[in-house]
């Protein structure tokens, strides 16, 4: 530090235009981004649903029957339908982004994005069928 | 030495939860949220549900799904509030509520899965 550099009152004004809180509403790509982020609420809701189901199961057959009856309430079915849409949005956006996160090279060549996304979709199908079989067979 | 950030660790949990949720949630929510309540498919009996869930591997899988799924939510929802609503001045509160909520849910899941007969 030398003596020449002293504090001055001068300061250039920041150029910071104010961004509206609802900036994501006016363009489809931004809205899609926020909808994708909001899908995480559906994931958390599903975990809560799972915890309620586990609690009902541990309380016995009557509690479980009451839980199943609660799932038939029209409002709950509507809520679950909306959440299913968000969960599907999550799954599709997740798998479409997978090639960005997973970079695989075979003999020095990058495996094409489509192949990586495709293998994710195949895994989704296999897991879904396996889960459905596990639940429905009994 | 530079301060180590715990962000990569949290991102790893977010990412694992996202992958697990992407694979498992659609089929589970479809079955239990729509197909069974609306009578499209015959739901499994109480006893077979209990047998299925009591298996140690199934308990472990469901615990992982709860833990990682909640971490996924906590991470993503936190940044949605930061960026979407621009409430950066509440950073600490949001952090505590998101990850605190995820921890509460994880403990509940652990308790329930441990005590189920």
Read off the pTM.
Answer: 0.88
Cβ contact B33:A83 at 8 Å: yes
Task: Establish if A130 belongs to a structural domain.
Answer: no
Do the domain assignments include residue B25? no
Asked if residue A51 belongs to a domain, the reply is yes
Nearest residue on chain B to A38, alpha-carbon basis: B77
Give the closest of B51, B66, B76 to A50, CB-based: B66
The answer to whether B94 faces chain A, any CB pair under 8 Å, is no
- Specify whether the backbone of A121 is left (phi greater than 0), alpha (psi in -120 to 50) or beta: alpha
Q: Which domain range does residue B88 map to?
A: 59-117
B39 conformational bin, left if phi > 0, alpha if psi -120 to 50, beta if neither: left
Q: Is A58 on the interface with B (CB under 8 A)?
A: yes
B104 in contact with chain A, both atoms CB, cutoff 8 A: no
Kindly state whether residue B32 falls inside one of the protein's structural domains.
no
Does residue A52 form part of some domain?
A: yes
Instruction: Say if B26 falls within a structural domain.
Output: no
- B46 vs A contacts (CB less than 8 Å): 57, 61, 64-65
A73, part of any domain? yes
Taking 50 as the pLDDT cut, the residues of chain B under it are none
Q: Collect all residues of chain A within an 8 Å Cβ-Cβ radius of residue B70.
A: 44, 47
ipTM summary value: 0.92
In a domain, A14, yes or no: no
pLDDT band at A9 (very low <50, low <70, confident <90, very high): confident
Note whether A127 contacts B: Cβ–Cβ < 8 A.
Answer: yes
| pLDDT, mean over chain A | 90
- Rounded CA Rg of chain A: 25
- Per DSSP, the residues of B87-111 read -GGGHHHHHHHHHHHHHHHHHHHHH
Q: Which residues pair with B82 in a beta bridge?
A: none
In a domain, A119, yes or no: no
Collect all residues of chain B within an 8 Å Cβ-Cβ radius of residue A128: 23, 26-27
| Per-residue model confidence as pLDDT tens digits over B1-19 | 566 788 889 999 999 999 9
Domain count, chain A: 1
Distance CA B19, CA A26 (A): 30
Print the domain residue range for A55: 21-82
Positive/negative CA dihedral, B86, B90, B93, B99: positive
Task: Provide the sign of the torsion angle of the four alpha carbons A37, B17, B44, A71, taken in this order.
Answer: negative
Residue B63 maps to a domain: yes
- B28 is a domain residue: no
CA angle, residues A102, A106, A107, in degrees to nearest 5: 145
Which CATH number is A31's domain given? Answer: 1.20.1300.10
> Is the pLDDT confidence value at A138 over 70?
no
For chain B, how many structural domains are there in total? 1
Q: How many angstroms separate the CA atoms of A14 and A133, rounded?
A: 61
């Amino acid at each position: 530090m030398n003596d020449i550099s002293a504090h001055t009152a001068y300061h250039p004004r920041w150029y910071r235009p104010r961004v509206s809180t609802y900036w994501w509403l006016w363009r489809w790509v931004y809205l899609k981004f926020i909808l994708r982020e909001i899908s995480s609420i559906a994931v958390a809701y599903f975990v809560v649903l799972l915890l309620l189901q586990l609690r009902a199961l541990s309380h016995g057959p009557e509690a479980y029957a009451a839980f199943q009856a609660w799932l038939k309430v029209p409002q709950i079915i509507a809520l679950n339908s909306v959440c299913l849409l968000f969960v599907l949005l999550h799954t599709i956006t997740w798998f479409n982004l997978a090639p960005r996160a997973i970079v695989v090279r075979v003999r020095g060549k990058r495996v094409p994005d489509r192949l990586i996304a495709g293998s994710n979709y195949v895994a989704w199908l296999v897991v879904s069928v396996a889960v459905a079989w596990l639940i429905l067979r009994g | 030495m530079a301060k180590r950030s715990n962000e990569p660790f949290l991102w790893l949990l977010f990412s694992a939860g996202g992958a697990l949720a992407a694979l498992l949630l659609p089929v589970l929510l479809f079955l239990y949220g729509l197909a069974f309540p609306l009578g499209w498919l015959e739901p499994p009996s109480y006893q077979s549900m209990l047998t299925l869930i009591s298996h140690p591997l199934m308990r472990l899988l469901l615990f992982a799904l709860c833990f990682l799924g909640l971490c996924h939510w906590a991470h993503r929802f936190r940044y949605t509030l930061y960026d979407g609503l621009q409430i950066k001045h509440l950073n600490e509160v949001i952090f505590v509520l998101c990850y605190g909520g995820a921890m509460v849910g994880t403990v509940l899941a652990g308790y329930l899965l441990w005590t189920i007969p």
